[in-house]
Amino acid sequence: MSDKPKIGISIGDVNGIGLEIIIKTLSDARIYDYCTPIVYGHTKVASFHRRAIHVNEFNFNVIDNAGNAQHKKPNMINCWEEDVRIDMGKVTPEGGKYAFISLQRATDDLLSGHIDGLVTAPINKDNIQNDDFKFPGHTEYLQHRDSKEDSLMFLVNDNLRVGVVTGHIPVSRIAQSITAEKIVNKLKLMNSSLRDDFWIRKPKIAVLGLNPHAGDNGLIGNEEKDVIIPAIEEARANDVLAFGPYAADGFFANGTYMQFDAVLAMYHDQGLIPFKQIAFETGVNYTAGLSFVRTSPDHGTAYDIAGRNMASEVSFREALFTAIHVIKHRRETAELNENPLLFSKLSRDRD
């Protein structure tokens, strides 16, 4: 029996680039030295995408359940029986319907312990909406399925890690949604993830301000003085090494982010725009604070290039390997917690 993690993969919108980047990633045989991938979709849909990008020497091993996965092959669980109309590069109801079926089936297996982690290909947040998916995105859906009160959208690569206090909400609601309690909770989630998932023993976290120039001592806004600074002080009182607030523009422009293990931004674009500029194709979206491991590439469905063999699989491959590494770290952390003497020795070695 292999101890390699079984990684479930949801295919995302069938009219986007999801299956293209999945096929390109799994075409590298070296992947199977590190994990056993299980894709939740249908071989007919996969074959359509495979032909569209002119990949001939690749086939999925069809299985009925995750327990039958072959460790040296790309596995596929067929999640529906009917034929699916594919309109490459277009937003259609079918694109959302089958993206959800794939995600739901993969999440069911994840929560049942049949797979060890989940990598999600991009969805369209509009056409996937239905009676069972009334969420702004993957993060909120998976948090709900895991029965967690909170989670952290955490964008990571080798050089930068950025989390956000508020995620997929309108800009007009950002200021009223930011509270000291919410900031402290996000900092605690980030601190725990850095320690347990990324094995950074004493993480240093930078906190960005909300307003330009971090409020300029109240000249441009009071959120820093009234909300963010008290939250930082409370977090530090709870053994979280948080610093700030920093003005976002200068913080990234002058490279200050390189002095920290992670950055907490106040809202989506404040954190994701610089992250995507700095991380290029290597960025990964990781959902911290859940009982399971979930990652995704840091890009969308890319309808404009779907089916044209132009999509880069680099971010998806990074998402797959990030999931593998975090699963490994969590397993080793669990073993260390059961063996305090070994944990003490490893802590000394880290120092």
Q: Per residue in 110-128, pLDDT tens?
A: 999 999 999 999 999 999 9
Same domain, yes or no: 124 and 205: no
Same domain, yes or no: 66 and 160: no
Same domain, yes or no: 131 and 180: no
Q: Is 101 a domain residue?
A: yes
Q: Is 320 a domain residue?
A: no
Same domain, yes or no: 165 and 59: no
Q: Which domain holds residue 167?
A: 150-288
Same domain, yes or no: 220 and 237: yes
**Residue 1 confidence (pLDDT):** 46
Q: Is 254 a domain residue?
A: yes
CATH assignment of the domain containing 265: 3.40.718.10
DSSP string of 7-31, one letter each residue? EEEE---TTTTHHHHHHHHHTSGGG
3-state helix, strand, coil in the chain (%, to 5): 45, 15, 40
Q: In which band, very low, low, confident or very high, does the pLDDT at 350 lie, cut at 50, 70 and 90?
A: low
Q: In which band, very low, low, confident or very high, does the pLDDT at 337 lie, cut at 50, 70 and 90?
A: confident
* Domain end among 249, 266, 288: 288
Residue 96 has pLDDT above 60, yes or no: yes
Q: Is 190 a domain residue?
A: yes
Same domain, yes or no: 164 and 126: no
pLDDT digits (tens, 9 = 90+) for 255-268: 999 999 999 999 99
Q: State the total domains in the chain.
A: 2
Residue 328 has pLDDT above 60, yes or no: yes
Q: Nearest to residue 263, comparing CAs of 197, 315, 186? A: 186
In terms of pLDDT, which residue wins out, 99 or 168? 99
**Residue 267 confidence (pLDDT):** 97
